[in-house]
Amino acid sequence: MFAGSLGVAGGTVFTGLVVYAAWQDVRHRRIPNRTVAWLALLGVVYSVGVDPVAATLLRVVGGFAAGLACWLPFYALGWLGAGDVKLFAAAGTWLGPVRTVEGALIGALAGAVLAVGWMVWSYGLKRTATTLSVATAAPAILAPDNRHIDRRRTLPYGVALAVGALAAAWLPRTLLFQ
């Protein structure tokens, strides 16, 4: 996706901002709005530089909308923070709609691996295996209890979303979308 000198420069900026957002999520369990705003704004600027105006509009708006559509339901369920959703929507301005959906699928897979790893690290292998086996019959036990959240113990899902966005940006034809 990032070909040529403009692409390499854009890809470097995109990667830096996405990695910084993920690092902030790990460090503070928050993704700063300023970082998300810069990611979105520079995504629009980059898109204008690589596509004609009409294509840019479709790329930017479509990618932003796809990013919101993929992750907003999980925010509504309390499974993701607003910063995670905003991060991926902003990344969509760089990626366009098809790559954004592809990145969301990769991010979901990375998130599943991260979540299981997080559970094993936090609770041990036996308790994680028991919880996951019970969750196959009663998935509601995995729903977050937002009344008693200790932010230090929450999963920094921005890391998984960053993996998805970066994979969609840098790896050509990574999944089903050719």
Burial class (CB in 10 A: 0-12, 13-18, 19+), 48: middle
Q: Is residue 74 part of a domain?
A: yes
Q: Is residue 148 part of a domain?
A: yes
State how many domains the chain has.
Answer: 1
Per the structure, the complete domain to which residue 153 belongs is given by 4-170
Q: Is residue 176 part of a domain?
A: no
Question: Whole-angstrom Cα distance, residue 89 to residue 39?
Answer: 10
Q: Is residue 9 part of a domain?
A: yes
Q: Is residue 178 part of a domain?
A: no
Question: Whole-angstrom Cα distance, residue 92 to residue 87?
Answer: 9
Q: Is residue 177 part of a domain?
A: no
Q: Is residue 112 part of a domain?
A: yes
Question: Whole-angstrom Cα distance, residue 65 to residue 163?
Answer: 19
Question: Whole-angstrom Cα distance, residue 142 to residue 83?
Answer: 21
pLDDT per position as a tens digit, 105-122: 999 999 999 989 988 988
Q: Which pTM was predicted?
A: 0.86
Please enumerate in sequence order all residues whose Cβ is within 8 A of that of 120, keeping only pairs 6 or more positions apart, or say none: 128
pLDDT per position as a tens digit, 45-84: 998 888 777 778 888 999 999 999 999 999 998 889 999 9
Question: Whole-angstrom Cα distance, residue 96 to residue 115?
Answer: 27
Amino acid present at 57: L
Q: Is residue 164 part of a domain?
A: yes
pLDDT per position as a tens digit, 141-170: 666 665 555 555 678 999 999 999 999 999
